[in-house]
Amino acid sequence: MTAHPFSTLLTNAFTAVLLAAFSATAAAADYTLNDGAIAFSAPADWPVIMQMSEGSPQVVAFQVKDPADDGTGEATRVSVTTRKLDDAQAFQAFVGQALDKARQTPGYESETGADGSSLRYSGLNQKTRYKYRESYFYKNGIAVQLRCVHPVLKGTAPAWVAAFDQGCDQIAASLQK
Protein backbone atom coordinates (compact mmCIF):
# COMPACT_ATOMS: atom_id res chain seq x y z
CA MET A 1 0.00 0.00 0.00
CA THR A 2 1.38 3.43 -0.91
CA ALA A 3 0.92 6.61 1.08
CA HIS A 4 -1.56 9.12 -0.20
CA PRO A 5 0.24 12.25 -1.51
CA PHE A 6 -1.74 14.48 0.87
CA SER A 7 -0.73 12.42 3.93
CA THR A 8 2.90 12.53 2.76
CA LEU A 9 2.63 16.30 2.49
CA LEU A 10 1.14 16.50 6.01
CA THR A 11 3.89 14.25 7.39
CA ASN A 12 6.58 16.42 5.78
CA ALA A 13 4.93 19.62 7.05
CA PHE A 14 4.65 18.18 10.57
CA THR A 15 8.35 17.20 10.49
CA ALA A 16 9.30 20.69 9.32
CA VAL A 17 7.28 22.28 12.14
CA LEU A 18 8.93 20.01 14.72
CA LEU A 19 12.39 20.85 13.38
CA ALA A 20 11.60 24.57 13.43
CA ALA A 21 10.33 24.33 17.01
CA PHE A 22 13.44 22.41 18.03
CA SER A 23 15.65 25.00 16.33
CA ALA A 24 13.86 27.87 18.06
CA THR A 25 14.25 26.14 21.41
CA ALA A 26 17.93 25.47 20.78
CA ALA A 27 18.52 29.09 19.74
CA ALA A 28 19.06 30.34 23.29
CA ALA A 29 22.29 31.49 24.87
CA ASP A 30 22.93 31.01 28.58
CA TYR A 31 24.43 33.66 30.88
CA THR A 32 25.35 33.87 34.55
CA LEU A 33 26.06 36.69 36.97
CA ASN A 34 27.19 36.80 40.58
CA ASP A 35 29.38 33.69 40.32
CA GLY A 36 26.50 31.62 38.92
CA ALA A 37 23.91 32.63 41.56
CA ILE A 38 21.86 34.29 38.81
CA ALA A 39 21.40 32.38 35.57
CA PHE A 40 19.23 33.15 32.56
CA SER A 41 18.92 32.50 28.87
CA ALA A 42 18.34 34.98 26.06
CA PRO A 43 17.77 34.66 22.33
CA ALA A 44 21.05 33.63 20.70
CA ASP A 45 20.70 36.27 17.98
CA TRP A 46 20.76 39.13 20.51
CA PRO A 47 24.39 40.31 20.61
CA VAL A 48 25.90 41.29 23.94
CA ILE A 49 26.98 44.95 23.85
CA MET A 50 28.15 45.18 27.46
CA GLN A 51 29.00 42.68 30.18
CA MET A 52 30.27 43.45 33.65
CA SER A 53 30.53 40.37 35.86
CA GLU A 54 32.55 41.52 38.86
CA GLY A 55 31.48 43.55 41.88
CA SER A 56 28.04 44.98 42.43
CA PRO A 57 26.20 45.88 40.27
CA GLN A 58 26.73 43.34 37.51
CA VAL A 59 25.11 43.58 34.09
CA VAL A 60 24.65 41.90 30.73
CA ALA A 61 23.22 44.20 28.04
CA PHE A 62 22.00 43.21 24.59
CA GLN A 63 21.24 45.20 21.47
CA VAL A 64 18.26 43.87 19.58
CA LYS A 65 18.24 44.83 15.92
CA ASP A 66 15.00 46.30 14.60
CA PRO A 67 15.27 47.01 10.86
CA ALA A 68 13.27 50.21 11.49
CA ASP A 69 16.18 51.51 13.65
CA ASP A 70 18.43 51.92 10.57
CA GLY A 71 19.44 55.53 10.09
CA THR A 72 17.37 56.83 13.01
CA GLY A 73 20.04 56.96 15.71
CA GLU A 74 17.65 54.97 17.93
CA ALA A 75 18.43 51.55 19.42
CA THR A 76 16.56 48.72 21.06
CA ARG A 77 18.24 47.23 24.11
CA VAL A 78 17.69 44.73 26.89
CA SER A 79 19.64 44.49 30.13
CA VAL A 80 19.81 42.23 33.15
CA THR A 81 21.33 44.04 36.13
CA THR A 82 22.06 42.57 39.55
CA ARG A 83 22.92 44.16 42.87
CA LYS A 84 23.78 42.39 46.14
CA LEU A 85 21.44 43.40 48.96
CA ASP A 86 21.27 42.67 52.67
CA ASP A 87 17.65 41.53 52.85
CA ALA A 88 14.15 41.63 51.35
CA GLN A 89 13.54 45.07 52.86
CA ALA A 90 16.53 46.44 50.92
CA PHE A 91 15.02 44.81 47.82
CA GLN A 92 11.76 46.70 48.37
CA ALA A 93 13.74 49.95 48.60
CA PHE A 94 15.64 49.00 45.40
CA VAL A 95 12.36 48.48 43.52
CA GLY A 96 10.90 51.68 44.98
CA GLN A 97 13.89 53.71 43.77
CA ALA A 98 13.58 52.18 40.30
CA LEU A 99 9.87 53.03 40.18
CA ASP A 100 10.58 56.61 41.23
CA LYS A 101 13.24 56.90 38.54
CA ALA A 102 10.83 55.53 35.91
CA ARG A 103 8.17 58.07 36.86
CA GLN A 104 10.72 60.87 36.30
CA THR A 105 11.17 59.87 32.65
CA PRO A 106 10.10 62.83 30.44
CA GLY A 107 6.65 62.16 28.99
CA TYR A 108 6.08 59.23 31.42
CA GLU A 109 2.86 57.30 30.75
CA SER A 110 1.99 54.16 32.69
CA GLU A 111 0.85 51.19 30.61
CA THR A 112 -0.65 47.85 31.50
CA GLY A 113 0.84 44.61 30.30
CA ALA A 114 -0.48 41.13 29.76
CA ASP A 115 1.43 39.65 32.71
CA GLY A 116 0.72 42.29 35.36
CA SER A 117 4.05 41.52 37.07
CA SER A 118 6.12 44.00 35.09
CA LEU A 119 6.33 47.77 35.23
CA ARG A 120 5.36 48.94 31.76
CA TYR A 121 5.51 52.53 30.66
CA SER A 122 6.48 54.81 27.82
CA GLY A 123 8.49 57.99 27.84
CA LEU A 124 10.49 60.33 25.68
CA ASN A 125 14.18 59.96 24.89
CA GLN A 126 14.86 63.28 23.19
CA LYS A 127 11.94 63.44 20.73
CA THR A 128 11.39 59.72 20.29
CA ARG A 129 8.87 57.78 22.38
CA TYR A 130 10.22 54.56 23.89
CA LYS A 131 8.39 51.64 25.48
CA TYR A 132 9.86 50.25 28.69
CA ARG A 133 9.24 46.97 30.46
CA GLU A 134 10.95 46.36 33.79
CA SER A 135 10.70 43.21 35.90
CA TYR A 136 12.25 42.68 39.34
CA PHE A 137 13.32 39.50 41.09
CA TYR A 138 14.99 38.72 44.42
CA LYS A 139 17.10 35.57 44.67
CA ASN A 140 19.75 34.54 47.18
CA GLY A 141 20.29 38.08 48.51
CA ILE A 142 20.56 39.50 44.99
CA ALA A 143 18.18 41.97 43.36
CA VAL A 144 17.68 41.47 39.63
CA GLN A 145 16.24 44.00 37.19
CA LEU A 146 15.28 42.95 33.67
CA ARG A 147 14.81 46.01 31.47
CA CYS A 148 13.50 45.77 27.89
CA VAL A 149 13.45 49.06 25.95
CA HIS A 150 12.54 49.86 22.35
CA PRO A 151 11.73 53.00 20.37
CA VAL A 152 8.27 53.43 18.90
CA LEU A 153 9.01 53.81 15.19
CA LYS A 154 6.62 53.90 12.22
CA GLY A 155 8.53 51.18 10.39
CA THR A 156 8.58 48.66 13.24
CA ALA A 157 6.66 45.55 12.20
CA PRO A 158 4.14 44.01 14.61
CA ALA A 159 5.90 40.64 14.11
CA TRP A 160 9.17 42.20 15.28
CA VAL A 161 7.48 43.59 18.43
CA ALA A 162 5.99 40.13 19.12
CA ALA A 163 9.42 38.48 18.75
CA PHE A 164 11.01 41.13 20.98
CA ASP A 165 8.35 40.59 23.66
CA GLN A 166 8.84 36.83 23.36
CA GLY A 167 12.60 37.26 23.95
CA CYS A 168 11.92 39.38 27.03
CA ASP A 169 9.44 36.75 28.25
CA GLN A 170 12.12 34.07 27.73
CA ILE A 171 14.61 35.95 29.91
CA ALA A 172 11.99 36.64 32.60
CA ALA A 173 10.91 33.00 32.71
CA SER A 174 14.51 31.80 33.00
CA LEU A 175 15.22 34.30 35.81
CA GLN A 176 12.25 32.91 37.78
CA LYS A 177 13.67 29.37 37.84
Beta strand 76-84 pairing with 128-139: unpaired
Give the C-alpha separation, 50 to 81, whole Å: 11
Residue 113's pLDDT band (boundaries 50, 70, 90)? low
Residues of the chain with pLDDT > 90, as a percent, come to 79
Mean pLDDT, residues 20-35: 70
For residue 24, pLDDT over 50 is answered with no
- Residue 50: CA count within 13 A, CB half-sphere: 10
Rg (CA), the chain: 20
How confident is the prediction for the chain on average, in pLDDT? 86
Query: What is the spatial distance between Cα 26 and Cα 18, in angstroms, rounded to a whole number?
Result: 12
> What's the pTM?
0.82
Report the amino acid identity of residue 175.
L
Length of the chain: 177
What's the Cα-to-Cα distance from 121 to each of 12, 48, 109, 110, rounded to whole Å?
44, 24, 5, 4
Q: Determine what percent of the chain is predicted with pLDDT higher than 70.
A: 82
Residue 23 has pLDDT above 60, yes or no: no
